[in-house]
Structure 1
């Protein structure tokens, strides 16, 4: 998993499975970030091909943590199998989900939201 931080954007790129082990790793990565108000946390799921209930718990914990810190958490590049899990659990209506990483910034600019400065 790689993390980059640039202009108030924190990018998480988990790989493989977000199950108990992968979810714990993602939680540790998110907990290691010192949140700053108005940061945008992006979880890019391009390389995630499986997620179970443990993975869902880690995403929800991350969302709660981001919101409590005044940050915004979004998902992008969600693969079909993972999207199905999010839809079945109705978490697709809880998370902001974008088709691509670039789409996030198109929508942000259209809404005139500030994510950096």
Structure 2
């Protein structure tokens, strides 16, 4: 007998600014999802042009909730101003960040690019 687990992708697409108000909206969206093991939570930041420190809170809380539930949370399409905030806070080393949504599902062909650890 063979069992296969379908990957369930939960996509969040915040827009505008992730500040106190935008962060609250993102937190509410994420809280509305009942996490299940093996889900992939994707936060697509294509349309986010600003984030401040209060906007980091829902991202970190979401990552914690996802990990506690056996889910994986990744970021993609991170715009330069948002990437700067993630780099300044060193959260760019905590989150998995992909250049595009499609890159999340593209296997790494060059083994030298794989992270070991």
TM-score by length of 1: 0.85
The corresponding residue for 1:77 is 77
**Is the counterpart of residue 30 in structure 1 residue 30 in structure 2?**
yes
* Whole-angstrom CA distance in 2 between matches of 1:99 and 1:78: 7
Tell me which stretches of 4 or more aligned residues in structure 1 moved more than 3 Å: none
Correspondence list, 1:32-71, <5 A: 32-71=32-71
* Whole-angstrom CA distance in 2 between matches of 1:7 and 1:56: 26
* Whole-angstrom CA distance in 2 between matches of 1:86 and 1:47: 16
Shift of 1:34: 1.0
Contact 2:7–2:40, Cα closer than 8 Å, also in 1:
no
* Whole-angstrom CA distance in 1 between matches of 2:107 and 2:87: 22
Q: CA RMSD in A?
A: 2.0
* Whole-angstrom CA distance in 2 between matches of 1:54 and 1:63: 15
**Structure 1 unaligned blocks of 5 or more:** 1-5, 111-117
**Structure 2 unaligned blocks of 5 or more:** 1-5, 111-117
The corresponding residue for 2:106 is 106
Which is higher, the Rg of structure 1 or of structure 2? 2
SS in 1 for 2:25: helix
- When the two structures are aligned, how many residues end up with a matched partner? 106
TM-score by length of 2: 0.85
* Whole-angstrom CA distance in 1 between matches of 2:65 and 2:22: 18
The corresponding residue for 1:115 is none
